């Protein structure tokens, strides 16, 4: 599988504006994680979770690093990264809003919620607002079917979503 690199990785030693770890430090931490977990069966998903926690998302150069350190093809890492919705290959916003489109939420207006959020935020599904505040995503059942439609704001479940509630949720994120 041919994996395209859309943009070059940030140069090592580049610190972000908030004073977090530098690029080099993050990559070194990911290398440590791979070394620590590489011999555990089925460790790839766990390593990718940790790598995403360290880096924030999983761009291709991070996937390449993981593949190289695990001695597996990049296509294998790419396949897992793109299969699971909780992994992202692009930077996410400060608030990740994931609308449930499982059956219960779908029949109770999940798609309308997606449309409304898309209009309000001015982004499509899978996109992040230009200010880096919100990322709009969809996902399957989040276990709140009895109080559908539901969505997640980062890890927090919001149940029985309606337009008023949606506005309040967005206002709380400001
Ligand atoms: S279908 Fe949405 S919470 Fe289950």
Same domain membership, residue 145 and residue 78: no
Q: What is the pLDDT of residue 6?
A: 41
Q: DSSP E strands: which ranges in the chain?
A: 95-100, 134-139, 151-153, 156-158
Q: What is the percentage of the chain residues whose pLDDT exceeds 90?
A: 73
Torsion of CA 28, 33, 39, 42, to 10 degrees: -130
Looking at the chain, how many residues does it have?
174
CATH value at residue 100? 3.40.30.10
Q: Which of 111, 112, 141, 146 to mutate to test the pocket of ligand 1 (most atoms within 8 A of CB)?
A: 141
Same domain membership, residue 160 and residue 119: yes
Evaluate if pTM is beyond 0.75: no
Backbone φ and ψ of 138, nearest 5°: -125, 160
- Give the pLDDT confidence of 63-87 residue by residue, as tens digits: 999 999 999 999 999 999 999 878 9
Same domain membership, residue 141 and residue 85: no
Q: Which range marks the domain in which residue 53 is found?
A: 1-92
Q: Confidence class of residue 164 from pLDDT cuts 50, 70 and 90?
A: confident
Instruction: Report CA(86)–ligand 1 centroid distance (Å).
Output: 16
> What angle, 0 to 180 degrees and rounded to 10, lies between the N-to-C axes of helices 74-83 and 60-70?
130
Instruction: Report CA(58)–ligand 1 centroid distance (Å).
Output: 27
Tally the domains of the chain. 2
């Amino acid at each position: 599988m041919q994996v395209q690199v859309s943009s070059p990785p940030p140069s090592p030693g580049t610190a972000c504006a908030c004073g977090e770890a530098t690029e080099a430090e993050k990559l070194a931490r990911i290398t440590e994680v791979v070394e620590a977990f590489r011999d555990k069966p089925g460790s790839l998903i766990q390593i990718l979770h940790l790598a995403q926690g360290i880096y924030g998302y999983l761009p291709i150069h991070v996937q390449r690093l993981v593949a190289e350190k695990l001695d597996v093809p990049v296509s294998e890492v790419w396949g897992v990264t793109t299969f699971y919705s909780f992994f992202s290959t692009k930077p996410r916003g400060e608030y990740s809003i994931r609308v449930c489109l499982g059956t219960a939420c779908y029949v109770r207006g999940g798609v309308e919620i997606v449309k409304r959020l898309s209009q309000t935020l001015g982004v499509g599904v899978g996109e992040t607002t230009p200010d880096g505040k919100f990322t709009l995503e969809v996902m399957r059942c989040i276990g709140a079917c009895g109080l559908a439609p539901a969505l997640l704001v980062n890890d927090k479940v919001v149940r029985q979503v309606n337009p008023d509630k949606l506005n309040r949720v967005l206002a709380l994120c400001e």
